[in-house]
Amino acid sequence: MNDTLQQYIEKLNGLDIKNMYNNDFFLTWDKTDDEIMAVFTIADALRNLRERNISTRIFDSGLGISIFRDNSTRTRFSFASACNLLGLAVQDLDEKKSQIAHGETVRETANMVSFMADVIGIRDDMYIGKGHTYQKLVADSVTQGYEDGILEQKPTLVNLQCDIDHPTQCMADMEEIIHYFGGVENLKGKKLAMSWAYSPSYGKPLSVPQGVIGLMTRFGMDVVLAHPEGYDVFPEVEEIARKNAEKSGGSFTKTGSMAEAFRDADIVYPKSWAPFAAMEKRTDLYAKGDFDGIDALEKELLKQNAEHQDWSCTEELMKTTRDGKALYLHCLPADISGVSCEKGEVDASVFDRYLKPLYKEASYKPYIIAAMIFLAKVKNPQKLLKELEEGNKLRWRQ
Amino acid sequence: MNDTLQQYIEKLNGLDIKNMYNNDFFLTWDKTDDEIMAVFTIADALRNLRERNISTRIFDSGLGISIFRDNSTRTRFSFASACNLLGLAVQDLDEKKSQIAHGETVRETANMVSFMADVIGIRDDMYIGKGHTYQKLVADSVTQGYEDGILEQKPTLVNLQCDIDHPTQCMADMEEIIHYFGGVENLKGKKLAMSWAYSPSYGKPLSVPQGVIGLMTRFGMDVVLAHPEGYDVFPEVEEIARKNAEKSGGSFTKTGSMAEAFRDADIVYPKSWAPFAAMEKRTDLYAKGDFDGIDALEKELLKQNAEHQDWSCTEELMKTTRDGKALYLHCLPADISGVSCEKGEVDASVFDRYLKPLYKEASYKPYIIAAMIFLAKVKNPQKLLKELEEGNKLRWRQ
Amino acid sequence: MNDTLQQYIEKLNGLDIKNMYNNDFFLTWDKTDDEIMAVFTIADALRNLRERNISTRIFDSGLGISIFRDNSTRTRFSFASACNLLGLAVQDLDEKKSQIAHGETVRETANMVSFMADVIGIRDDMYIGKGHTYQKLVADSVTQGYEDGILEQKPTLVNLQCDIDHPTQCMADMEEIIHYFGGVENLKGKKLAMSWAYSPSYGKPLSVPQGVIGLMTRFGMDVVLAHPEGYDVFPEVEEIARKNAEKSGGSFTKTGSMAEAFRDADIVYPKSWAPFAAMEKRTDLYAKGDFDGIDALEKELLKQNAEHQDWSCTEELMKTTRDGKALYLHCLPADISGVSCEKGEVDASVFDRYLKPLYKEASYKPYIIAAMIFLAKVKNPQKLLKELEEGNKLRWRQ
């Protein structure tokens, strides 16, 4: 047995994960600390096996259904990679090619596409109050279908980004932090700045900043949320962050100054998002079909954004972080000043200096997704990891 | 050996299915009673194996090609599921992304996409006289390609709905009937009402009502076709239904009254379709590129439909069926009064009461498609079923 | 051991292919004669195994990424077939469904889609100076990602057509020639005419004629390039063709007469393409966003084309070839006079007479692509071919 894999298995032995079997993954704060650690550990274990060219297929056949209600490259490919790694074929539900417009219910569609679905991944992040609700409805529908004997397996729902949280992204971000600093045990007292940053585009979801403060307050770090006035996130998520921090022995604070957030920070996450109130208004306008109203709102928001062009991750600002060398994180793609726009979230020279950790950060996402599926599908993960190692089936016959 | 699987194998032993090997599936009435029963039996056997977590992959690699010339959700996913269950990867021929418009022939395209295709599934149901003809041409083209040594295997054609029949749908419907009533032997004398129903939409294919009367008259049932004046189906298919009924000891009758059809019915299938003559006219207009003519025809048809709003599967009508409890069938999605439209094919309360059997009905489709492929690809199905059971390869390592 | 497979293995034993491992395939003229012969030989070996129903999956999981920046049917399906044959699932990067427009760099996207990618196939043939450059950039990006530890494997780049070469097409064409004439050793002194032909469409890539003269001059044949004045190909590729011919003991000549090219030819490849200079101009106009200029250029080019309607592969012209029976090649789809257009590249009667060899020619492409991947992924191809034969895993359990 490979030593590193052995350590992962031993770690899992100490965690209570029995509720993950046959369950879903909506929001990180639905999960216990043990469950969150199990996802990181399984992700590492799957990566360890793959690096050693050992196949981790646990399915001989089966489907992973993806529903993307917003454009996506990296999440789409991460989901496809995770499914493939475990042996599932991806079938995309392209709502434009389907008959869904015909008026059928979510419950019906969910069951119709799931007869052989082992997992359903959904991205629905555009409208406040909608994405998470939709995901819940899909999960409830197929759970009902399973209980009624329609489906022979309960498809696991994996949240690939909703209006509230972006768990696969934020857990990949967090796994980068854990590896960068050499383990969860080294994070106590580290300062993380989740900061709004200027972007010339508009309407970016709140799920990343919310996901970050909702997850990263669990590890004893000092998490600071910084944004200009009016760019608040959901109060409920701030409340979760506060409770997490208290429990973990860290802190959660807010500031209206990017400079203050960055000062002596060990980790910085500068990223644009839309104000919560504006996103709510937009959802209402959309529901009413008031497209003139949406246009007007867009103009207003862009104007509001433009007042905060100084919220940018510049070289000057980076110098004020811990030893001038904070770990820079981003979910990508970033708005890079002078590259993708005149003035954006980050200086090109800063971004370029962090390419390797940024790409590494992204590279965890397929494994995080695969780990979420693995934990929902395998009753005794430690035993199966051992069997996979012992079976030693080559992933690739070189 | 599992008892139920043993029974399926014994049933297959009594059927003459030698002509199914290396063959296609266009229309149910091309097939003998033995062949039809073999599809139901293999579908049940594959489901039995999957329920017991035994892999039914008969392909280690290979492609299933899908061509959807009309939108589709459930048939698309059913085909994808069936292919996946047997080990094939699905490759969709999206005619918009291809160079087909360039002027190449069907024969050429069919061969070009089939070098490693084991099955081709086609949905082409929009124009009278076109869909079946196109499917035949594709099948002939690849059969020729196989005989010429271009293709190393003859791809099996599976009709995923044409202008004449919808065999995968109607066989799934029929399998629901068989299981609901506890076996084919219990169907003698049961009354089935295939009835037109009002829908505010227009131009629905005739392939479902035709497929239903063409198939369900084979089992000794009393099949009644009901529709308003002018909503006739193909006379050729009615002729088939009549002959089937005669041979099976059942009956096939027609009526202009939904109430008469529903009275004491054991099974009801209320569904909208377009009049055959109108669909022929539409095909001609389309061929001439007369889009004004098509618009005018559409308005005329919607107006004609609107005269028959009383053709709806209401609670009142359901009460007149056998013990007020006829099995309600639909291919889905249905036009539900007060849900997807103001007034439609069925009352919401009726539809909701039958959700479980409706979803179960739909759940047979992937297995029916898989069974059609299995029978075309496997010389000795009984032997292979035994080997799959004995091999006991897990579909999913839980 | 099957005799034919044994011969392929022995042939491979005599070839120096060590540089192919972990490498890419951009242009045939990057490769040595040994490497080119290895691709043909592996393609034949994979076909031999598949014909004998032996699985050639060398991957238990893994992704093949496809990027099509131009429409495609046969190349898309050939790539999908090749990936499937080796055990890879295809994931298409549809740039319209992605967030690429957002401004991210090629380096970023290339890495983001490649975490589990074993091969990337790209078609980008529309703009002079762009396609090959883009492919190189993608390959460099993922090679860097591999070296940086971001990717656990180096994805192999396969050129599915660029602005310069179309290696998978031309090698499939060449494999048809080799098999048609019974082996490479029989090609010395054979005359091949690569000729421009009239088409009523406009802007066809130069990569096919260039790929043909760049590859087929390596086998001792007399290759003639014929085109009207103004339809020159890249001078650099002509230079390669000249050097190849010299080295192989064949010849490379140019003529302004289709009749001269066809006279006594053993092989003819009449095909339309756009003039190199015009394509350069179009690229510039496109870069400037000058769409009026592009429209004007298109009209001008169509007019210029129309002056050469006599450049067509007619029955009369075919009679002047060797015994009137030259092998007719085309990459398909062809512009067929009286079929896909009034007057085009070839007479319908000529085209129809050659359907079998034309389809056979196309059928080699999946195997050529699979061979390119196989050689990049397998350190000791001969050993693995032996193991696949001995393992005798059925592709299809009949």
Chain B neighbours among C 25-54 (CB < 8 Å)?
47, 50-51
Q: Are A150 and B359 in contact (CB < 8 Å)?
A: yes
Q: CATH number of A168-362: 3.40.50.460, 3.40.109.10, 3.40.50.1370, 3.40.50.300?
A: 3.40.50.1370
DSSP-assigned beta bridge partners for residue A66: A92, A121
Q: Chain C within 8 Å of B103 (Cβ-Cβ)?
A: yes
* Chain A partners within 8 Å of B369 (Cβ): none
Instruction: Average the pLDDT over B344-369 and give the result.
Output: 97
Of chain B, the percentage scoring pLDDT greater than 90 comes to: 84
Residues contacting residue A43 through CB under 8 Å, at least 6 positions apart: A171, A175, A364, A367, A368, A370, A371
How do residues B131-168 score in pLDDT, each as one tens digit? Answer: 999 999 999 999 999 999 999 999 999 999 999 999 99
In this predicted structure, the answer to whether residue C97 has a pLDDT above a threshold of 70 is no
In this predicted structure, the answer to whether residue A99 has a pLDDT above a threshold of 60 is no
How far apart are the C-alpha atoms of B268 and B304, rounded to whole Å? Answer: 23
Q: Are B116 and C333 in contact (CB < 8 Å)?
A: no
Backbone angles phi, psi at C190, to 5 degrees: -70, 145
DSSP-assigned beta bridge partners for residue A313: A346
**How near does any CA of chain B get to the CA of A292, in Å?**
27
pTM value > 0.95: yes
Q: How long is chain B?
A: 398
Cβ atoms within 10 A of the Cβ of A390, count?
9
How do residues A196-240 score in pLDDT, each as one tens digit? Answer: 999 998 778 999 999 999 999 999 999 999 999 999 999 999 999
Q: Chain A within 8 Å of C259 (Cβ-Cβ)?
A: no
* Chain A partners within 8 Å of B359 (Cβ): 108, 111-112, 145, 148, 150
Q: Chain C within 8 Å of A395 (Cβ-Cβ)?
A: yes
pLDDT of residue A28: 98
Chain C neighbours among A 303-332 (CB < 8 Å)?
332
Q: Which of B201, B339, B393 sits opposite A60 (nearest CB)?
A: B393
Q: Are B97 and C76 in contact (CB < 8 Å)?
A: yes
In this predicted structure, the answer to whether residue B6 has a pLDDT above a threshold of 70 is yes
**How near does any CA of chain C get to the CA of A394, in Å?**
7
CA-to-CA separations, C234 to B177, B382, C155, C174, C273, in angstroms, rounded: 68, 61, 29, 21, 12
* Chain B partners within 8 Å of A113 (Cβ): 73-74, 77
**How near does any CA of chain C get to the CA of A75, in Å?**
9
Q: Are A104 and B76 in contact (CB < 8 Å)?
A: no
Q: Which of B86, B341, B356 sits opposite A148 (nearest CB)?
A: B356
B89 token code pair: 């990867």
Type of residue found at B70: D
Residue of chain C nearest A393, judged by CA positions = C60
How do residues B208-235 score in pLDDT, each as one tens digit? Answer: 999 999 999 999 999 999 999 999 999 9
Residue of chain B nearest A58, judged by CA positions = B397
Q: Are A77 and C112 in contact (CB < 8 Å)?
A: yes
Assign A363 to helix, strand or coil.
helix
Contact C252, C29 (CB under 8 A): no
pLDDT of residue A139: 97
Instruction: Average the pLDDT over A64-78 and give the result.
Output: 91
Q: Can you state the angle between helices B207-216 and B235-248, rounded to 10 degrees?
A: 20
Contact B163, B207 (CB under 8 A): yes
pLDDT of residue B201: 83
In this predicted structure, the answer to whether residue A276 has a pLDDT above a threshold of 90 is no
pLDDT of residue B98: 59
Looking only at the bridges linking them, the beta strands covering C117-123 and C156-159 are parallel
Contact B167, B25 (CB under 8 A): yes
Q: Can you state the angle between helices A235-248 and A207-216, rounded to 10 degrees?
A: 20
pLDDT of residue B203: 77
* Chain C partners within 8 Å of A51 (Cβ): 152
In this predicted structure, the answer to whether residue C333 has a pLDDT above a threshold of 70 is yes
SS (HEC) of chain C: CCHHHHHHHHHHHCCCCHHHCCCCECCHHHCCHHHHHHHHHHHHHHHHHHHCCECCCCECCCEEEEEECCCCCHHHHHHHHHHHHHCCEEEECCCCCCCHHHCCCHHHHHHHCCCCEEEEEEECCCCCCCHHHHHHHHHHHHHHHHHCCCCCCCCEEEECCCCCCCHHHHHHHHHHHHHHCCCHHHCCCCEEEEEECCCCCCCCCCHHHHHHHHHHHHHCCEEEEECCCCCCCCHHHHHHHHHHHHHHCCEEEEECCHHHHHCCCCEEEEECCCCHHHHHHHHHHHHHCCHHHHHHHHHHHHHHHHCCCCCCECHHHHHCCHHHCCEECCCCCCCEECCCECCCCEEHHHHHHCHHHHHHHHHCHHHHHHHHHHHHHCCCHHHHHHHHHHHCCECECC
Q: Which of B47, B71, B74 sits opposite A97 (nearest CB)?
A: B71
How far apart are the C-alpha atoms of C222 and C218, rounded to whole Å? Answer: 10
Q: Which of C55, C332, C396 sits opposite B377 (nearest CB)?
A: C396
Q: Which of C84, C109, C115 best tests the A interface by mutation, with the highest count of A CBs <10 A?
A: C115
Q: Chain B within 8 Å of C84 (Cβ-Cβ)?
A: yes
Assign A337 to helix, strand or coil.
strand
Q: Are C91 and A90 in contact (CB < 8 Å)?
A: yes
pLDDT of residue C277: 85
How far apart are the C-alpha atoms of B189 and B185, rounded to whole Å? Answer: 10
CA-to-CA separations, B285 to A37, A345, B289, B295, in angstroms, rounded: 64, 56, 6, 10
Q: Are C74 and B112 in contact (CB < 8 Å)?
A: yes
Indicate the average pLDDT of chain B.
95
Backbone angles phi, psi at A118, to 5 degrees: -95, -20
Where along chain A do its domains lie?
Answer: 3-164+365-391, 168-362
Indicate the average pLDDT of chain C.
95
CA pseudo-torsion sign C110, C116, C117, C118? positive
Contact C64, C91 (CB under 8 A): yes
- CA A393 vs. chain centroid, Å, equals 31
How do residues C366-393 score in pLDDT, each as one tens digit? Answer: 999 999 999 999 999 999 999 999 999 9
In this predicted structure, the answer to whether residue B260 has a pLDDT above a threshold of 90 is yes
Cβ atoms within 10 A of the Cβ of A249, count?
11
Q: Chain A within 8 Å of C58 (Cβ-Cβ)?
A: yes
How do residues C10-50 score in pLDDT, each as one tens digit? Answer: 999 999 999 999 999 999 999 999 999 999 999 999 999 99
Nearest by Cα to C299 from C278, C330, C328: C278
**How near does any CA of chain A get to the CA of B248, in Å?**
31
Backbone angles phi, psi at C293, to 5 degrees: -60, -40
**How near does any CA of chain B get to the CA of C330, in Å?**
13
pLDDT of residue A102: 52
Residues contacting residue C161 through CB under 8 Å, at least 6 positions apart: C70, C75, C123, C124, C125, C131, C168, C169, C205, C207
On the CB side of A215, how many CA atoms lie within 13 Å of its CA?
Answer: 30
Q: Chain C within 8 Å of A97 (Cβ-Cβ)?
A: no
Contact C107, A333 (CB under 8 A): no
Q: Which of C96, C111, C373 best tests the A interface by mutation, with the highest count of A CBs <10 A?
A: C111
Q: Which of B72, B78, B341 sits opposite A99 (nearest CB)?
A: B72
User: What ipTM did this prediction achieve?
Assistant: 0.95
**How near does any CA of chain C get to the CA of A147, in Å?**
32
Q: Chain C within 8 Å of B110 (Cβ-Cβ)?
A: no
Chain C neighbours among A 330-349 (CB < 8 Å)?
332-336, 339-341
pLDDT band at C71 (very low <50, low <70, confident <90, very high): confident
How do residues B71-99 score in pLDDT, each as one tens digit? Answer: 888 899 999 999 999 999 999 998 765 55
Per-state percent for chain A, helix, strand, coil, to nearest 5: 50, 15, 35
pLDDT of residue B102: 52
Q: Are A340 and C102 in contact (CB < 8 Å)?
A: yes
Residue of chain B nearest C68, judged by CA positions = B97
Q: CATH number of C169-362: 3.40.50.1370, 3.90.470.10, 3.40.50.300, 3.40.50.720?
A: 3.40.50.1370
pLDDT of residue C394: 98
Backbone angles phi, psi at B242, to 5 degrees: -60, -45
By the 10 Å C-beta count (0-12 exposed, 13-18 middle, 19+ buried), C294 is classed as: middle
Of chain B, the percentage scoring pLDDT greater than 70 comes to: 98
* Chain A partners within 8 Å of C115 (Cβ): 77-78, 81, 362-363, 365-366
pLDDT of residue C395: 98
Q: Are C153 and A396 in contact (CB < 8 Å)?
A: yes
B224 token code pair: 């009644």
Q: Are A396 and C150 in contact (CB < 8 Å)?
A: no
pLDDT band at C227 (very low <50, low <70, confident <90, very high): very high
pLDDT band at C113 (very low <50, low <70, confident <90, very high): very high
Instruction: Average the pLDDT over B301-309 and give the result.
Output: 92
DSSP letter assigned to residue A54: B
How many DSSP H helices and E strands does chain B contain? 16, 11
Residues contacting residue C299 through CB under 8 Å, at least 6 positions apart: none
How far apart are the C-alpha atoms of C39 and C17, rounded to whole Å? Answer: 10
- CA B267 vs. chain centroid, Å, equals 17
- Residue B62 Rama label (left phi>0; alpha psi -120 to 50; beta): left
pLDDT of residue B206: 94
DSSP output for B230-272: T----HHHHHHHHHHHHHHT-EEEEES-HHHHHTT-SEEEEE-
In this predicted structure, the answer to whether residue A156 has a pLDDT above a threshold of 90 is yes
Tokens 């009286």, located at residue: C338
**How near does any CA of chain C get to the CA of B332, in Å?**
29
Contact C56, C46 (CB under 8 A): yes
Domains B3-164+365-391 and B169-362 in one fold: yes
pLDDT of residue B71: 80
Residues contacting residue B245 through CB under 8 Å, at least 6 positions apart: B217, B223, B251, B252
pLDDT band at A388 (very low <50, low <70, confident <90, very high): very high
Q: Chain A within 8 Å of B356 (Cβ-Cβ)?
A: yes
Q: Are C99 and A340 in contact (CB < 8 Å)?
A: no
In this predicted structure, the answer to whether residue A103 has a pLDDT above a threshold of 60 is no
CA pseudo-torsion sign C146, C147, C149, C150? negative
Q: Which runs of E-coded beta strand occur in B257-395? A: 267-271, 327-328, 336-337, 346-347
How far apart are the C-alpha atoms of C60 and A53, rounded to whole Å? Answer: 10
Q: Chain C within 8 Å of B285 (Cβ-Cβ)?
A: no
Domain C3-164+365-391 has CATH 3.40.50.1370: yes
Q: Which of C60, C152, C387 sits opposite A51 (nearest CB)?
A: C152
pLDDT band at B100 (very low <50, low <70, confident <90, very high): low
How far apart are the C-alpha atoms of B359 and B10, rounded to whole Å? Answer: 29
Nearest by Cα to B298 from B209, B165, B200, B164: B200
SS (HEC) of C189-237: CCEEEEEECCCCCCCCCCHHHHHHHHHHHHHCCEEEEECCCCCCCCHHH
Q: Are B63 and C72 in contact (CB < 8 Å)?
A: no
Indicate the average pLDDT of chain A.
95
Q: How long is chain A?
A: 398
How do residues B359-375 score in pLDDT, each as one tens digit? Answer: 999 999 999 999 999 99
How do residues A338-367 score in pLDDT, each as one tens digit? Answer: 988 899 999 999 999 999 999 999 999 999
Residues contacting residue C348 through CB under 8 Å, at least 6 positions apart: C336, C337, C338, C339
Q: Are B397 and A108 in contact (CB < 8 Å)?
A: no
> In this predicted model, which residue has the larger pLDDT, A320 or C342?
A320
Q: Chain C within 8 Å of A263 (Cβ-Cβ)?
A: no
